[in-house]
Amino acid sequence: MSTPGAYLRLARAGWILVREGVVAALPGEQLTGLPRFGWRVARALSRRRVAGQDRSERMAKAIDRLGPSYVKLGQFLATRPDVVGRDVALDLASLQDRMSTFPSAAARAQIAESLGAPVETLFEGFDEPVAAASIAQVHPAIVTRDGAPARVAVKVIRPGVRRRFHNDLESYFLAARLQERYMPGARRLRPVEVTETLAQTTKIEMDLRLEAAAISELGENTRDDPGFRVPWVDWQRTGRDVLTLEWIDGIKMSNLEALQAAGHDLERLAATLIQSFLRHTLRDGFFHADMHPGNLFVEGDGTIVAVDLGIMGRIGKKERRFLAEILYGFINRDFRRVAEVHFEAGYVPAHHDVAAFAQALRAIGEPIHGQSAETISMARLLTLLFEVTELFDMQTRPELLLLQKTMVVVEGVSRALDPHFNMWKAAEPVVSDWIAANLGPRGALADLREGGAALVSLARQAPELAARSEKLAREIDHMAEHGLRLDGETADAVGWAAARHGRLGRLALWVIAAALLWIAWQVS
């Protein structure tokens, strides 16, 4: 149940988005009826001084006013082009954390509370913050490691940020429920489930021990990978609110001039980056999902170091096979096989025609052939693929969309390093190795071993399953004979919930409208 505060917070956010011109900057010419009228009203209410700004600038200004939880919301929605549209997702992806730092005294208090010791005891030196984001800020510090001083980066959670996120998430859920109730066409996008994913992602990010675990896992996976690594973690100085890890002395990958001046081979860096990402994705099923150039450093020997692993992606073996076979099928123009993979994975409902779906895929794949390889974007291919699958009722797959978003970013970074970057040539060794290991004879043997293990596990559970089946059969017989009965408390609860749902549904929009008018009167 949403509190009155949730309605007011949602109304305030809507008013700020309107006043800063974000709603007016969205494409509204194709709207009809009440949505188009609302868009025209939003244009009239926008501040005049933002009339010349583009949509990205307006979003940045609105997010500044709304606070840290909306910064994180924008970053999250950048991973969901199916929800906000491709152009808006790209605008959101370009936004950087624009938060001011908080006092060092507050950071020291957070560290002492989380680690149970004062900063002076834990660190040889502790400096002022050098970077701030929506959830945390980073301080340089010195520790003793293996008997020698070592520089570290100390990431500290913002005081009070969890309470702020909790309050704002309540209004996000309210908006999602209203969208599902009053916009039937949006139900396929499952806005409530999207909000639940955001809530879970944020909870993980706000426990820095989990980010440390992600760094450790990726470090183990990539220990022997050429040209890529992650920082080491100082577990003794890491807790829920504090993460201490190796300080990276390198050049940010966004600084192309500095990379060139240092003599780095940009073409080799581009190939190493995309191969590393595909290796993590296909081989490990675990990848850094926020690989923008600000999170990538290049050390003196050309090694790429990834930082800020708060957002990670995981895909299972089925999804990895799905990705590899799709790429392989498009390269070889085997559109029928690509269509079959979608049906085998259960992504497209079985009542659709495989041949018709293969025809739609051909509309994507044929324009690719005849182009030079360096002009073909793998990320664009996946974007078009997901657009077509919408016509065939493919449900939203968050793990695949996160993969798509990350591939868009990684491919963009590679092409910035090398404008003539050949994505397919760079990816071929990694994709070929994975296909040989998983779709050939070796893959069949591995599947056979996994199947055998599953059968053994099933045999061990057979007595328990038989007992449950017998109990279920007795309960079904009892219901068939006596009917299904609810106790009085349950029946009262169902009736009360139905009545409340109807009343709130009718009053929700009126409350929001009244709140907007009140805020507008206060502002004026």
DSSP 8-state assignment for residue 48: G
High-pLDDT (> 70) share of the chain, %: 67
Residue 305 lies in a domain: yes
Would you put residue 459 in left (φ > 0), alpha (ψ -120 to 50) or beta? alpha
The SS3 assignment for 288 reads strand
**199 shares a domain with 330:** no
User: What CA–CA distance (Å, rounded) separates 273 from 410?
Assistant: 7
Give which of 308, 314, 305, 273 is closest to 290, Cα–Cα: 308
Q: Which of 393, 420, 439 marks a domain boundary? A: 439
Which of 199-208, 234-243, 304-313 reaches the highest mean pLDDT?
Answer: 234-243
Cβ-based neighbours of 164, under 8 Å, separated by 6 or more: 67, 68, 69
Between 267 and 518, the higher pLDDT residue:
267
How high is the mean pLDDT of the chain?
77
- pLDDT at position 331 over 80: no
- Please give the pLDDT value at position 369: 60
Q: Report the pLDDT value the prediction gives residue 519, as an integer from 0 to 100.
A: 47
Domain count within the chain:
2
Query: Which of 93-97, 101-105, 494-498 is modeled with the greatest confidence?
Result: 101-105
Residue-wise burial string across 82-120, b where 16 or more C-beta atoms lie within 10 A, e elsewhere: bbbeeebbbbbbebebebebbebeebbbbbbebbeeebe
- pLDDT mean over 424-430: 80
pTM exceeding 0.75: no
The upper half-sphere exposure of residue 298, i.e. CA atoms within 13 Å in the direction of its Cβ, equals: 25
> Of 384, 404, 439, which closes a domain?
439
CA angle in degrees (0–180, nearest 5) for 65-296-66:
10
Query: In this structure, is residue 472 part of a structural domain?
Result: no
Residues 179-196: what's their mean pLDDT? 69
pLDDT at 497: 54
The reply to whether 175 and 270 lie within a common domain is no
Relative to beta strand 304-306, strand 228-229 is parallel
Which of 191-195, 320-324, 345-349, 499-503 bottoms out in mean pLDDT, i.e. has the lowest?
A: 499-503
- 281 pLDDT more than 80: yes
197 and 346 housed in the same domain: no
Please classify residue 267 by burial: count the beta carbons closer than 10 Å to its beta carbon, then call 0-12 exposed, 13-18 middle and 19+ buried: middle
DSSP-derived secondary structure for 194-206? HHHHHHHHHHHHT
290 is catalytic: yes
Regarding whether 270 and 177 lie in a shared domain, the answer is no
Q: Which of 167, 290, 277 is nearest to 222 (CA)?
A: 277
pLDDT for the residue numbered 523: 45
Domain ranges, residue 187: 4-99+167-203
* pLDDT for 113: 94
Q: For residue 432, what pLDDT is reported?
A: 78
The amino acid at residue 145 is R
- pLDDT at position 341: 82
The answer on 265 and 188 residing in a single domain is no
* Same-domain status, 186 and 258: no
Same domain, 81 and 190: yes
230 phi-psi bin (left φ>0, alpha ψ -120 to 50, beta other): beta
Neighbouring residues of 403: CB distance < 8 A, sequence distance ≥ 6: 281, 287, 313, 315, 319, 323, 382
Q: Which of 424, 439, 454 is the last residue of a domain?
A: 439
Confidence bin at 214 (pLDDT 50/70/90): very high
Q: Could you tell me if residue 191 is inside a domain?
A: yes
Residues 183 and 265 in one domain: no
Domain membership of residue 400 (yes or no) is yes
Least confident of 154-158, 359-363, 434-438: 434-438
**∠ CA(414), CA(415), CA(419), 5° rounding?**
140
Burial annotation 437-454 (CB, 10 A radius, 16+ → b, else e): ebeeeebeeeeeeeeeee
pLDDT digits (tens, 9 = 90+) for 35-85: 677 777 877 877 765 445 566 666 767 776 777 777 777 766 665 565 566
Domain assignment present for 153: no
Any domain includes 492 = no
In a domain, 190, yes or no: yes
In the chain, the amino acid numbered 338 is V
If asked whether residues 66 and 190 sit together in one domain, one would say yes
Half-sphere exposure of 389 (CA within 13 A, CB side): 25
For Cα atoms 67, 69, 74, give the angle at the middle one, nearest 5 degrees. 95
Task: Pick the range with the lowest mean pLDDT from 231-235, 254-258, 384-388, 519-523.
Answer: 519-523
Does any domain span residue 91?
yes
Q: Are residues 283 and 424 in the same domain?
A: yes
Roughly what angle, to the nearest 10 degrees, separates helices 317-331 and 398-417?
Answer: 50
Going by C-beta distance under 8 Å and a sequence separation of 6 or more, which residues neighbour residue 259? 251, 253, 266, 269, 298, 417
Q: Using CA atoms, how far apart are residues 154 and 447, in angstroms rounded to an integer?
A: 44
**Could you tell me which residues come within 8 angstroms of residue 228 by beta carbon, excluding any fewer than 6 positions away?**
222, 272, 276, 303, 304, 305, 306
Q: What is the greatest pairwise CA distance in the chain?
A: 83
**199 and 262 share one domain:** no
Catalytic residue among 290, 334, 487, 492: 290
